[in-house]
Amino acid sequence: MSTQNKQVPYRFGEKLRTVRERKGYTLKMIAQQAGVSESLVSQIERNRVSPAIDTLLTLADVLDINLEFLFEEYRRDRPVHVIHKDERRRMEEDEVVYEELAKPVEKDGEHAMECYILTIPPHGHTHRGSYGHLGREFGYIIEGEARFQYESTNYELKAGDSISFSASSPHMVYNDSDVEMKAVWVVTPPQRFS
């Protein structure tokens, strides 16, 4: 099978060429700075060859390209996303803790969501939903008790209870008890970890 017909699995070429042209660099300039042939850079840009990782990293460095930008298609093509317990992003707002369980995926568009463990200390409460926002939310109480205030109505929730609602109205989660409250919370579109 010839190199011409061989399919290149990851297509970096268009991105490299677009950035190079935007910066006004010629193939020759990039090739010289990267220490490779002009022909190789041209073939990479046309997705005729898949570059060795050190060549790709050198080209990215010469063009000052963020590697996330180069590899985003590769990451997007993965249908399963795993977040290990010790790798969760964590955010604190006063003493309320949010631990990310699912990352928003940009390509999901209007279906993008975030999911986190919400931990509210005794006599604490959330703040962000106090003005409302677009989308929907779902919560499931794992431990403790919560008082959910939606506009001017309060709902008492115990471990095992769940709640779902339009997020467009003001809403807050309160822990009025003397013990910590934990819940799994899902928000779409993402608000906190986006």
CB 137 within 8 A of CB 156: no
Cα distance between residue 120 and residue 182, in whole Å: 7
Section 172-189 average pLDDT = 95
pLDDT band with cut points at 50, 70 and 90 for residue 133: confident
Q: Which range scores top for mean pLDDT: 34-48, 51-65, 156-170?
A: 156-170
Per-residue pLDDT of 4-27, as tens digits, reads 444 445 677 888 988 888 889 999
The verdict on pTM exceeding 0.75 is: no
**Residue 62 clears pLDDT 80, i.e. is over it:** yes
Give the H or E element holding residue 145: strand 145-150
Give the H or E element holding residue 69: helix 67-76
Quote the mean pLDDT of the chain.
85
Give the model's pLDDT for residue 100: 92
Strand 181-188 to strand 171-174: parallel, antiparallel, or no bridges (unpaired)?
unpaired
**Residue 170 clears pLDDT 70, i.e. is over it:** yes
Cα dihedral value 105, 109, 113, 114, nearest 10 = 40
Q: Which range scores top for mean pLDDT: 1-5, 16-20, 65-69, 102-106?
A: 16-20
Residues 6+ apart with CB under 8 A from 140: 161, 162, 183, 184, 185
Section 150-169 average pLDDT = 95
Nearest CA to 66 out of 109, 107, 15, 14 is that of 15
Cα distance between residue 105 and residue 122, in whole Å: 33
Task: Work out the percent of the chain whose per-residue pLDDT is above 90.
Answer: 44
pLDDT band with cut points at 50, 70 and 90 for residue 179: very high
Tell the residue number behind the tokens 């490299």, with chain if given: 16
Question: Could you give the maximum distance between any two Cα atoms of the chain, in Å?
Answer: 71
Which residues face 97 on adjacent strands? Answer: 92, 119
Give the model's pLDDT for residue 137: 93
